[in-house]
Structure 1
Amino acid sequence: MEYTAKYITPDIKLSCYDDKFFKSDILFEEHMLVWFISGETKIVQADATYFLKQGDIFLIPRNQLATIINYPKNGQPHKTVVMHLSADRLREFYAPLSVRPQLPQAQPIRTYNNHPLLESCLASLIPYFDMKALPDNIASLKITEAISILRAIDPEVDDILANFEEPGKIDLMTYMEKNFMFNMPVEKFGYLTGRSLTTFKRDFKKAFQTTPQRWLTKKRLELAHYHLAEKKMKPIDVCYEVGFENLSHFSFAFKKYYGYSPTELGLKRS
């Protein structure tokens, strides 16, 4: 994979993948505003799947789990402008405002496709990525501009951007049954369910009578078998959507668990 990134500040980057494919399971620890210059992305979450392409603009709320699959398209690389909206920056923005956000448990990705104000704001960043020196306040002004535009075009966005609550303790079984396909460290699952690592492992053992890793592997392989046998998906697609990092590891674990490989299952099905 050929990856390059240019930064105006740590919060604003121009991201480019030149290779055929990139996949990652991600916990978004900050809100991310993204503008597509070229390429395509598939974002798989527990409740929804998004397909995003050239010209699309979207906001990913923080503390979300997702599988991200990036593709070049039409001979052009996967290229995006990404703006991180950090909690510190947002607290500074909202400090003089009287905003009381609703506190929903989860927020979907919000799309603002081809919106002229947002596109103009993000496109105006492009010349800055090639500058060797940039006035300190430029990036701050651009982030403030982006937040202001979001608030002007999306009346509900304050419920996301002005919400600074950390995840509280939630039902462990419900959360894990919904999110097991994301390949996250156990510490991250603990954080998202409002637990320390020690408490998470203790509560997990009590709820599932096994270790997190054994349970996660079993659940992912069972979901993979369903996708292969019932939905007729290809092994390479199943591998990435159920939480494995590469096809060889997935094939090995699948055959060890079921006694036959994903490919052999496909041949039986045929």
Structure 2
Amino acid sequence: MLVLESDSHPDHNGSVADMALSLNGHSLIEQCTHSIDEEGSMFIEEHLLLFLLEGDLKVTYGKQSLGVSKNEMILLNKGTLINYESSGNPEKGNLFYCLMISLKDELIKSFVTSTDLKITKQLVDVETLPTVQPMDECLIAFSQSLEPFFKNVAKVAPSQLRHKMMELLYDTAVCSDTIFQQILHLQQPVRTDLREVVEKHYATPIRLEELAYLSGRSLSSFKRDFQQTFNMPPATWIREKRLNKAKEMLETTGMSISEICYSLGFENISHFSRIFKQHHGTIPTALRRDA
């Protein structure tokens, strides 16, 4: 996640404690606890979301110097070098405690395509990055929920850690739209095959913005490339594919009409029935009776 050069010299009595939760051999969430003041430099290899839970931290990032206090968070861009100064809370034995969370593209994409939140990527002024934002009660509670994981790292299953990352992203999106929009814009999407993306996802209740994100394109680029590839707008193509899929499901499965309607992303049954008849010449209930 990071390469650290520190000017402090911790002893061997546990004054510095670093533990990590890893997924597929890569550190995902690191816990840093110490009772001595530190200063040094840090090269960030992955986008890093830092939660400060005790103490104070000064971060020099490019031309900016930012102070982070207890129950505040900061998002740091990968491929950069920062200087830092950390100090503990004297009322708690000079304790300094933070969580450093690596934000993998794969996990963010998984969240964007599975969440029930309405996510719209907004314009972010990259010159203002990073910023310090407060943590709300949900994010503080999330941080506390990780304590049992660090007490027995060996027993943490990959599925548990993935679940916790989805929970983190959900809480962050709800808590701070500023930080979450920064997370979306820090990604460097790689363009993938557009046809492969839409063929894989058209039969799920996914929005155009999410398909564009998965294909590594802006929404406008996605629509333009789609028109060139399929010779029709994406909304038209997706609607026809879903209606054909609905007919197949009515004929081959025991799913109810409402289940088929909503599983394919249609807004309501009356709308689904109306456009189904326009496309297939009969209403879904008639097709089901004839099956």
TM-score, length-normalised on structure 2? Answer: 0.49
Within 5 Å, give how 1:247-266 maps onto structure 2: none
Partner of residue 77, structure 1:
95
Query: In the comparison of the two structures, how many residue pairs are matched?
Result: 165
**Is residue 35–residue 56 contact of structure 1 (8 Å, CA) maintained in 2?**
yes
Partner of residue 20, structure 2:
7
Within 5 Å, give how 1:54-133 maps onto structure 2: 54-74=70-90, 75-95=93-113, 99-102=120-123, 104-131=125-152, 132-133=154-155
Shift of residue 119, structure 1, vs aligned partner: 0.7
Shift of residue 114, structure 1, vs aligned partner: 4.3
Percent of aligned pairs with the same amino acid: 12
Partner of residue 150, structure 1:
172
Shift of residue 95, structure 1, vs aligned partner: 4.2
Where 1:76 maps in the other structure, the secondary structure is coil
Shift of residue 137, structure 1, vs aligned partner: 1.4
Structure number with larger C-alpha Rg: 2
With over 3 angstroms needed to count, the CA separation of the structure-2 counterparts of 1:14 and 1:93, relative to structure 1, is same
**Is residue 39–residue 83 contact of structure 2 (8 Å, CA) maintained in 1?**
no
User: AA paired with 1:85?
Assistant: L
**Is residue 30–residue 87 contact of structure 1 (8 Å, CA) maintained in 2?**
no
With over 3 angstroms needed to count, the CA separation of the structure-2 counterparts of 1:118 and 1:39, relative to structure 1, is same
Q: Distance between the aligned counterparts of 2:55 and 2:177, measured in 1?
A: 29
Cα distance per residue 1:67-124 (max 9 Å; x no partner) = 1122233132322122211222223323457754536444423333241111111111
Within 5 Å, give how 1:212-223 maps onto structure 2: none
Q: Distance between the aligned counterparts of 2:46 and 2:75, measured in 1?
A: 11
**Is residue 21–residue 72 contact of structure 1 (8 Å, CA) maintained in 2?**
no
With over 3 angstroms needed to count, the CA separation of the structure-2 counterparts of 1:71 and 1:157, relative to structure 1, is closer
Which consecutive unaligned segments of at least 5 residues does structure 1 have? 167-270
- 2:70 matched to 1:49? no
TM-score, length-normalised on structure 1? Answer: 0.53
Cα distance per residue 1:17-76 (max 9 Å; x no partner) = 33332311x343322222223222111123422222333233334344421122233132
**Is residue 37–residue 85 contact of structure 2 (8 Å, CA) maintained in 1?**
no
**Is residue 91–residue 162 contact of structure 1 (8 Å, CA) maintained in 2?**
no
Cα distance per residue 1:162-186 (max 9 Å; x no partner) = 23228xxxxxxxxxxxxxxxxxxxx
CA RMSD after TM alignment: 2.6
User: Highest relative contact order (Cα 8 Å, sep 6+), 1 or 2?
Assistant: 1
Which consecutive unaligned segments of at least 5 residues does structure 2 have? 1-8, 11-15, 190-291
